[in-house]
Amino acid sequence: MKISTKDYRTLFSRICGTKRVSEDPATLKQYTTDESLFEGYAPAMIAWPKTTSSVQQIVFIAREKGISLLPVSSSPGNRVHGDSLPRSRDCVIIDLSKMHRIDRIDQENRVVAIEPGVTFEDLIPVLRKHGMRLNMPVMPRIGKSVIASALEREPVAMPLYQWDSTDPLLCAELVFGTGDVFRTGSAAGPGTIKEQRKAGQAQVNPMGPTQFNPIQVIQGAQGTLGIVTWATIKCEVMPSVQHVHHVSSDSIIELLAAQHALLKYRLCDEVFIMNRLGIASLLGTENASIEALARELDPWHLIFVTAGHGVLPDDRVAYLDADAKDILAQRGHRITMNEGTFDDRVLLAKLSSPSRDQWRSRPRGGHESIFFLASASQIPKFVNLSENLFTGREVIVYLQPGNLGTSIHCEFDVMYDPGSPQDVGTVKSSLSSWHDAFIDAGAFFSRPYGNITKAVFQHYSVANISTLKKVKTIFDPGNILNPGALCFEDGTSG
């Protein structure tokens, strides 16, 4: 049954309370743009539920009335890819940022249970007090939801502790588009969460229940199948000793081989490769200082961190450092160890903290990311392709191994001046052809966003689209959750 937007407030106020819904134009406008080059419509209303029960009631009403829902959890200034922008004027934003409880910290099992509104700046200092840390992306923005980051499979800096694509996300509770509440993995039962914890369980196994593994379906779905209301996140022990190593070269092939060896022998925690502009942007804060630093650097840089904790941490780091240097010495004459080039404390602080700004945008104020998964052997081909595609443009290249180094997140951040309409227009009009070029070269876009999504799905398999649409009809038969995202049809909500 269709309803007019003026009835939204009455419906959602009954569930969330009058103070947790808004139709204020200034508030709605915050949800129409993000740091991407895309713009969305102003939503009809914002609702801030605080409990799973409230989320479930919202979904029930939305399905009955044909209302489109767009779940978000990060702060408005922290959204990047256009996936959280409303695709219709009658969409209702379900903002989960008020659900920000850190429910349980389990040091013995290295796991934390949190709600979607918990951000990196909320969680990092709390975990530190318990001797734990997150396996997180390189310098996430302040205001970024920890659960949202895990659900989107954002690359993490410590591939040694990422055993499969779901890590560090473990178990979750979610509300499907049907209105059904479901718990994944070992959280599914038997018993309630309270009963499980009393029996000593910690909801650390993400697989199941039985042969069904819904967390892999929910990850990367951009809120089109369900709304996660809490999750458990895997943590790691906080090291007492850390050494930062900086290696540079004019050969990306040499550094990829060195990175592979370091991961093969499990010698480091954080590890990634960036080009000179990437490292300068990570360390710098202003355009002038970034440009000056970049001019002094070699073309390619490998950063890795050795760490020790527990008994004899210094001895552990000493042998890790020695083994790493032996491996690097075998990689050829085009690798240079640059110990002492950067302040280790500054770099470690950056790798363990969120950032107040978007470090990828520092050189020019704006950037557009093209990222995909690739094998190490494909990287030189993609780097060469990028040099041809982005001629005359400043580009950050960020190569982050994942899943114990079995794949690499390959990212090209193209700089532009947000104050120049001509520059913005040029980048925006070129995005489609740039993505097409990488797709044709064999790039695997596992996390497509925005206008390139359709091309990505059509390129890989028509059968995949048909299968995903069947999955959508199972978990969201009313097509109320973020309709129009991925390969799904636009909604017809009131």
Residue 346 lies in a domain: yes
491 has a pLDDT exceeding 60: no
The domain total for the chain is 2
pLDDT tens digit string along 411-469? 999 999 999 999 999 999 999 899 999 999 999 999 998 778 877 887 776 777 888 89
Q: Does 138 lie in the same domain as 51?
A: yes
- The whole-number average pLDDT for the span 374-393 is 96
Mean pLDDT confidence for 211-217:
86
Same structural domain, 232 and 295: no
Q: Are residues 57 and 171 in the same domain?
A: yes
Mean pLDDT (whole number) for 314-339: 84
Per-residue confidence at 130, pLDDT binned at 50, 70, 90?
A: very high
Cβ contact 265:319 at 8 Å: no
- Per-residue pLDDT at 219 exceeds 90: yes
pLDDT in tens, 388-405: 999 999 999 999 999 999
Is 1 within the bounds of a domain?
yes
Query: What is the pLDDT averaged over residues 46-55?
Result: 96
452 domain residue, yes or no: no
**Domain-embedded: residue 466:** no
Split at pLDDT 50, 70, 90, the class of 492 is very low
Specify the CATH number for the domain of residue 487. Answer: 3.30.465.10
pLDDT above 90 for 281: yes
**468 within domain boundaries:** no
Asked if 1 and 106 sit in the same domain, the reply is yes
* pLDDT at position 375 over 80: yes
Cβ neighbour number for residue 213 with a 10 Å cutoff:
15
Q: What is the pLDDT at residue 5?
A: 60
pLDDT of residue 109: 95
With contact defined as beta carbons under 8 Å apart, do 111 and 330 qualify?
A: no
Please state the rounded mean pLDDT for residues 222-245.
Answer: 96
CATH number of domain containing 360:
3.40.462.10
Q: Does 212 or 100 have the greater pLDDT score?
A: 100
Confidence (pTM): 0.94
Both 64 and 202 in a single domain? yes
Same domain as 430, residue 398: yes
Q: What amino acid occupies position 165?
A: S
Looking at residue 170, what DSSP letter applies? E
Predicted confidence (pLDDT) at residue 82 exceeds the cutoff of 90: no
Query: Could you list the residue range(s) of the whole structural domain that residue 418 is in?
Result: 241-440
Residue 451 belongs to a domain:
no
Select from 162, 170, 193, 140 the least CA-distant residue to 266. Answer: 162
Q: Label residue 340 by pLDDT band (50, 70, 90).
A: low
pLDDT of residue 346: 87
CA-nearest of 60, 7, 90, 43 to 477 is 60
Shared domain for 423 and 338, answered yes or no, is: yes
Q: Does residue 144 sit in the same domain as residue 284?
A: no
Domain-located, residue 382: yes
Together in a domain, 385 and 301:
yes
Question: Does 182 reside within a domain?
Answer: yes
Overall size of the chain counted in residues: 494
Same domain, yes or no, for 207 and 306? no
Note whether 413 and 486 are same-domain residues: no
Looking at the structure, do residues 494 and 427 belong to the same domain, yes or no? Answer: no
What 3-state class would DSSP assign to 4? coil
List b or e across 89-103, with b for residues whose CB sees 16 or more CB atoms inside 10 angstroms: ebbbbbbbbbbbeee
User: Mean per-residue pLDDT for 343-356?
Assistant: 89
